[in-house]
Amino acid sequence: MKTYLLIGLGLLVLAFIAQRALAGDVISPEEAARRVAAGTAVLIDVREPGEWRDGVVKGALLLPLSDLQGAREKWRPVLEAQAGKELILYCRSGNRSGIAGRVLAAEKFTVSNAGAFSAWKAAGQPVTSP
């Protein structure tokens, strides 16, 4: 019984570590909003279009991760127009924004992960319909 508990605890720890590795370091919605308001950053929602109907952070650009990993029809002009600005990303849970962040960081963009959309709502940040 103790062995199973130790194995279970070990798996939980590994799952937590994997979650953090996928998401990367996450900044708070308040910090992200400050950076965007200062004009040094742009906020990007990397969820897929069907998820946006649940609401989006007011002022966020809507650029799905699938497009970043694909043709970049929507991403390319934004990346060109926002050159030099920090890209602050969020999604449903923080995982996809972490994936997008790693892709963009590998291309030498300055990126931060703002985590989950639900954290924005819970923090009282402005949310709107797309």
The predicted-structure confidence for 85-95, as pLDDT tens digits, reads as follows 999 999 999 99
**Which CATH number characterizes residue 26's domain?**
3.40.250.10
pLDDT confidence tier of residue 14, bands split at 50, 70 and 90: very low
3-state secondary structure 78-118: HHHHCCCCEEEEEECCCHHHHHHHHHHHHCCCCEEEEEEHH
Q: Residue 76 is part of which domain span?
A: 2-128
pTM score, two decimals? 0.82
Residues 6+ positions from 83 with CB-CB distance below 8 Å: none
Structural domains counted in the chain:
1
- For residue 25, the model assigns a pLDDT of 83
